[in-house]
Structure 1
Amino acid sequence: MTRKSPPDLRSARWFSPDDLRSFGHRSRMMQLGYSEEDFRDRPVIGVLNTWSELNTCHAHFKERVQDVKRGVLQAGGFPVEMPSLSVDESFTKPTSMLYRNMLAMETEEMIRSHPLDGVVLMGGCDKTTPGLVMGAISAGVPMIYLPAGPMLRGNYAGKILGSGSDAWKYWDERRAGNITDEEWLGIQGGIARSAGTCMTMGTASTMTAIADAMGLTLPGASSIPAVDAGHQRMSADCGRRIVEMVWEDLTPDKIISEGACRNAAVVAMATGCSTNAVVHLIAMARRAGVDLTLDHLDALGRVTPLIANVRPSGKDYLMEDFFYAGGLRALMKQIEDRLDCSAMTVTGKTLGENLEGARVYNDDVIRPLSNPVYEEGSLAVLRGNLCPDGAVMKPAACDPKFHVHQGPALVFDSYPEMKKAVDDENLDITPDHIMVLRNAGPLGGPGFPEWGMLPIPKALIKQGHRDMLRISDARMSGTSYGACVLHVAPESFVGGPLALLETGDIVRLDLPNRRLDMLVDEAELAARKAAWKAPERRFERGWGYMFSQHVTQADQGCDFDFLQSDFGRTAGEPDIF
């Protein structure tokens, strides 16, 4: 392998020439208190930090960035921390998904416009992983991803709590009158006990596992709990490794291959991934020029057993247990023969080399292939006259009796309308009804909010029912569960078939045959289509306007059309010097 020398560094274009502009660059570095020995002839490493005082998942990043810098300095690099958009899941409204592409654009432009030779991407909360990775792929400099890691197990009154999953569970019990105010407050205080992402296999752990399987993290880094001392050591290792990656010129295009994307998809299925993985994985792959589709993902899902017994698809354990059982390396070792072990990784070694010595320490948490949690993978892709461009379901996380189901639709045009109805104890609904929410997709939401796990109506909760079939063009939290069909495409807001469905229409789900249909006569559908009127766009200015003009549909990854790789890249960087 040919190694770079100092004159080959990208940052040398800023700092090395004996001209006026470089004089200015060097003088401003000296203004910051650095001497030329600090930054000249050394790889300049951008540490893109998504820390925020409102991002609980990244609360520890204020300290972890120091560990990264320590590693960079030890390896002879020059670290510069650069604050990045902190797309938190808990507080950002109407949905953090509205801003994933903003983070991707910011990441790409920050890298491109500054004297950075390589970057460490510090993320973890749901949209930060795809946002950072998408932007860094497009920028093209060496990069390594540092996952935030899951928080500790929740606990209340001797019960282990899983973030998100148990919130939905106990909220239903409270609505049924089975939880007191005191108990509810206790659960509220015990369900999230440390810095870090959700400790269920929600979207955060799904996406960091995908980055890990794709070869973008240090091996197994995605499994380390946020507050474990090993997380600090891993952070420093990231700093040391990115410096070597710069000298090796190990850029994302040498790592993110078709095989790497397939590895990520297989691992996602085996872990019981969030349904959000579909949208983000397609977007990430396509940034790298890999044409990953819903059909590819469904095909892999049919042949990949779910072997991570972690909530919500698993029944018993959380991410802390998964780490103690051997973590992601151990899981990948179990399915090694299904992976492309020749795929390159950020270590400069192949995936197969990185898996050497991995082993499972608890085979109830990480199951052998002979004893899976679920015979097929985590996700299934549906087609039919209700979703010609696809819809997504998580079969392992719902009651099997809904895998084949037929019933009358109860249709809601907005979230407030639905919310009011489900709290009506006199709502005329049966367990066989199919609740439908529309106008909640990428454009309709706006931003594709996580409204897809529609609450079970109080009228049914009090009868003892805890699941029913629900359909929407929304997403749902990766910590959610239940018989929910999501990402219906095209969305109703742009005139997709979901816009034509009416309350009382019979809908049929046939999961084994991957079908979702409304049993309505074609002539009647044509008449409804002719009478349908497009709603007004949600935004008139700013980011929302840009989003509404350029976002693609769910089956295309919801990236901006002008940012996907098939729009081409400039031949090198513009001559700005």
Structure 2
Amino acid sequence: MTLRSLAANSPVRHAHWQALGLSEEDLAKPKIAVVNSSSELAVCYAHLDGVAKQVKEAIRAAGGVPFEVRTTAPSDFITGAARQGSYILAGRDLIPNDIEAQVEAALLDGMVCLTSCDKTPPGHLMAAMRMNIPTILVIGGYQASGMIDGDHVDIEDLFSGGVRERLGGAMKHSVDAMTKQAVRGPGVCAGMATANTMHCVVEALGMCVAGSAPVRANSDKMFAYAREAGARIVEMVNEGLTPRQIMTEGAFRNAAAMVLAVSGSINAIKHLQAVAVEGGLDIDLFQIWEDMGRVVPTLAAVRPSGPRRIEEFEDAGGARAMMKQLESLLDAEVIVASGKTLADDLSEVTVADDEVIRPLANPISEGPSIAILKGSLAPESAVVKLGIRDGSRPEAFSGPARVFETTAQAMEAIASGTVQKGDVLVLRGQGLKGGPAMGGGASNILFAIDAAGLAKDVAFVTDGQLSGLCLKGLTIAEVAPEGAVGGPIGLVRDGDPVEIDVAARRIDVMVPAEELAARPGPGDEFAVPAAGWLGMYRRDVQEMGTGAVLIDMANTRGEPKW
């Protein structure tokens, strides 16, 4: 008997579980964690206790023993209130550690993760790869939204409207009215923002019951998939089907194709890279993105990239139908959570509406919808979301830099008219270390630019991240290296010429390298002080090339040491 088996079957452990009501027969069954991030703070998670109940019943019926455990529950609009949003991304990395400290520490056999707001899917996938025990995710679904005088109103409208009101812009509906209608029930933001993008990524990776994403929260369909996942996890434990068998390089290429085809959130790139790093998978997501971006067009136009609502995308067949349309570009031999190949899983799939989810022969626009840039301003990488490439947004731009150290400074300059047509707004100090955790509110600047009528006439460059709800003008985010660690973006001065050329995948500051290097960099003071968890995050977070993981995985490749 192995040391793991001895620990898992110790008499004192059995005594504790018998005191909780487990029988002798139960002690021999697969023991499954039901990972729940239910929270009364945020509507994103408010319904998950009901989902957990049905998953646990399905596990018991399938011959397993469920144990519900809890994790932190990051929600952009709730836990993003303090420290200029620094807890948003930092919360992602608490999740795999929460899970490890309970599920691995207890030597459980498998887990079902109830995945909802946009930091939980990557957190769950990171934990799955790290521990490599049988895992399946349950998609928590998206929230209902409302109507005002016949107009659909959702969280994107409210986010944009709030910024527009602050700048004195014209409003069709008041912010107060939109606040009452934008969110009409539990679940994640409507639209193809980061949460629904990541839900589609989960499906593209093969880590959920096929057909699960996206889905209306608390719908009969959502609960049916939850029960199916509860039954399937027991089979996966018995089969020994683990995340590293499913999430191979081919699966990551499939996930990149999905995000590009739905014109999803740029945040998916760093999340996918972090998942790969946690599993010791030595892949370059930036290069994968470039490779897939050359061949994958945009096949769906869901808000914020286009006019379609997420309900239309789901009703047309959702992520599974999109994979059917992409099948010739995918690695169809990968194994998915069903234990079958993707090809087998897609063999009987049909697309309910091929105007909503287009075939490759009839794309909405040529790709890529997201591209990776490099250059003297971003020697490692930068990300630009192009969305539907219909000529409405510039893809080349040159102009003088207008440099800001804080969101407040930039917002004031936009509101006062200091920012002029032809300018390149540069917001720095918002990165992984500087933010920390890419807080700082860069997304607000995009809506401010739009409200000021400058979306087509200025460019915006930042080392921060953007909400998946944002798609305004020519915006380059996640510039690496970030300013706080000596990246060139920290050396740019007002008036420096900046050139952006998406076709060439370039972003450059047109200053001689010697002159740039001779300039003093940022000081030791950060705009957002960070103690406690944020201080630990700032100290330990790795560069963007790792997906912003917290540990140096270079010496921990391969199987976990436990």
TM-score with structure 1 length normalisation? 0.90
CA shift digits 1:529-555 (9 cap, x unpaired): xx3254246667532232222211223
- 2:231 pairs, out of 235, 240, 245, with 240
In the superposition, relative to structure 1, how do residues 29 and 188 fare at CA in structure 2: closer, same or farther (>3 Å)? same
Q: Report the alpha carbon displacement of residue 47 of structure 1 after superposing the two structures with TM.
A: 0.3
CA shift digits 1:407-442 (9 cap, x unpaired): 111110122322333332xx3232211111000000
Q: Report the alpha carbon displacement of residue 241 of structure 1 after superposing the two structures with TM.
A: 0.3
Moved more, 464-473 or 370-379: 464-473
- 2:278 pairs, out of 270, 274, 287, with 287
Equivalent AA in structure 2 for residue 36 of structure 1? E
Q: Report the alpha carbon displacement of residue 571 of structure 1 after superposing the two structures with TM.
A: 6.4
Residue in structure 1 matched with residue 400 of structure 2 by the alignment: 408
Equivalent AA in structure 2 for residue 125 of structure 1? C
Q: Report the alpha carbon displacement of residue 443 of structure 1 after superposing the two structures with TM.
A: 0.5
In the alignment, the residues of structure 1 paired with residue 550 and residue 200 of structure 2 have an alpha-carbon distance, to the nearest angstrom, of 24
Q: Percent identity?
A: 32
Please, what is the CA RMSD of the aligned residues?
A: 2.4
Query: How do residues 215-230 of structure 1 correspond to structure 2 at under 5 angstroms?
Result: 215-230=206-221
2:65 aligned with 1:78 = yes
In the alignment, the residues of structure 2 paired with residue 309 and residue 9 of structure 1 have an alpha-carbon distance, to the nearest angstrom, of 53
- 2:76 pairs, out of 74, 86, 89, with 89
In the superposition, relative to structure 1, how do residues 147 and 369 fare at CA in structure 2: closer, same or farther (>3 Å)? same
Residue in structure 2 matched with residue 4 of structure 1 by the alignment: none
Q: Report the alpha carbon displacement of residue 213 of structure 1 after superposing the two structures with TM.
A: 0.5
CA shift digits 1:330-356 (9 cap, x unpaired): 111011011111100111111111112
In the alignment, the residues of structure 2 paired with residue 99 and residue 506 of structure 1 have an alpha-carbon distance, to the nearest angstrom, of 37
Contact between 1:456 and 1:467, CA under 8 Å: does it hold in 2?
no
Q: Report the alpha carbon displacement of residue 50 of structure 1 after superposing the two structures with TM.
A: 0.8
In the superposition, relative to structure 1, how do residues 467 and 64 fare at CA in structure 2: closer, same or farther (>3 Å)? farther
Moved more, 102-111 or 537-546: 537-546
In the superposition, relative to structure 1, how do residues 51 and 459 fare at CA in structure 2: closer, same or farther (>3 Å)? closer
2:461 aligned with 1:471 = yes
- 2:153 pairs, out of 148, 153, 161, with 161
Residue in structure 2 matched with residue 548 of structure 1 by the alignment: 538
In the alignment, the residues of structure 1 paired with residue 112 and residue 559 of structure 2 have an alpha-carbon distance, to the nearest angstrom, of 24
Equivalent AA in structure 1 for residue 62 of structure 2? A
Contact between 2:279 and 2:558, CA under 8 Å: does it hold in 1?
no
Q: Report the alpha carbon displacement of residue 293 of structure 1 after superposing the two structures with TM.
A: 3.1
- For structure 1, the 5+ residue unaligned runs are 1-6, 17-21
Residue in structure 1 matched with residue 497 of structure 2 by the alignment: 506
In the superposition, relative to structure 1, how do residues 495 and 229 fare at CA in structure 2: closer, same or farther (>3 Å)? same
2:143 aligned with 1:151 = yes
Contact between 1:450 and 1:476, CA under 8 Å: does it hold in 2?
no
In the alignment, the residues of structure 2 paired with residue 450 and residue 206 of structure 1 have an alpha-carbon distance, to the nearest angstrom, of 22
2:175 aligned with 1:184 = yes
Contact between 1:286 and 1:292, CA under 8 Å: does it hold in 2?
no
SS at match of 2:372: strand
Contact between 1:15 and 1:40, CA under 8 Å: does it hold in 2?
no
Contact between 2:279 and 2:557, CA under 8 Å: does it hold in 1?
no
- For structure 2, the 5+ residue unaligned runs are none
2:437 aligned with 1:447 = yes
Q: Report the alpha carbon displacement of residue 316 of structure 1 after superposing the two structures with TM.
A: 1.6
Residue in structure 2 matched with residue 568 of structure 1 by the alignment: 557
In the alignment, the residues of structure 1 paired with residue 437 and residue 223 of structure 2 have an alpha-carbon distance, to the nearest angstrom, of 35
In the superposition, relative to structure 1, how do residues 200 and 566 fare at CA in structure 2: closer, same or farther (>3 Å)? farther
Contact between 1:165 and 1:479, CA under 8 Å: does it hold in 2?
no
Contact between 1:279 and 1:554, CA under 8 Å: does it hold in 2?
yes
Moved more, 76-85 or 464-473: 464-473
CA shift digits 1:430-469 (9 cap, x unpaired): 2211111000000001111263335369798456767631
In the alignment, the residues of structure 1 paired with residue 124 and residue 139 of structure 2 have an alpha-carbon distance, to the nearest angstrom, of 11
Equivalent AA in structure 1 for residue 18 of structure 2? M
How many residue pairs end up in the alignment?
A: 553
Residue in structure 2 matched with residue 433 of structure 1 by the alignment: 423
SS at match of 2:379: coil
Contact between 2:111 and 2:135, CA under 8 Å: does it hold in 1?
yes
In the alignment, the residues of structure 1 paired with residue 38 and residue 89 of structure 2 have an alpha-carbon distance, to the nearest angstrom, of 18
Contact between 2:163 and 2:444, CA under 8 Å: does it hold in 1?
no
Residue in structure 2 matched with residue 363 of structure 1 by the alignment: 354
Contact between 1:305 and 1:369, CA under 8 Å: does it hold in 2?
yes
Q: Report the alpha carbon displacement of residue 228 of structure 1 after superposing the two structures with TM.
A: 1.4
Residue in structure 2 matched with residue 326 of structure 1 by the alignment: 317
SS at match of 1:517: strand
In the alignment, the residues of structure 2 paired with residue 460 and residue 543 of structure 1 have an alpha-carbon distance, to the nearest angstrom, of 35
Contact between 1:97 and 1:447, CA under 8 Å: does it hold in 2?
yes
In the alignment, the residues of structure 1 paired with residue 515 and residue 97 of structure 2 have an alpha-carbon distance, to the nearest angstrom, of 44
Contact between 1:453 and 1:481, CA under 8 Å: does it hold in 2?
no
SS at match of 2:184: coil
In the superposition, relative to structure 1, how do residues 264 and 178 fare at CA in structure 2: closer, same or farther (>3 Å)? same
In the alignment, the residues of structure 2 paired with residue 409 and residue 453 of structure 1 have an alpha-carbon distance, to the nearest angstrom, of 19
Contact between 1:285 and 1:292, CA under 8 Å: does it hold in 2?
no
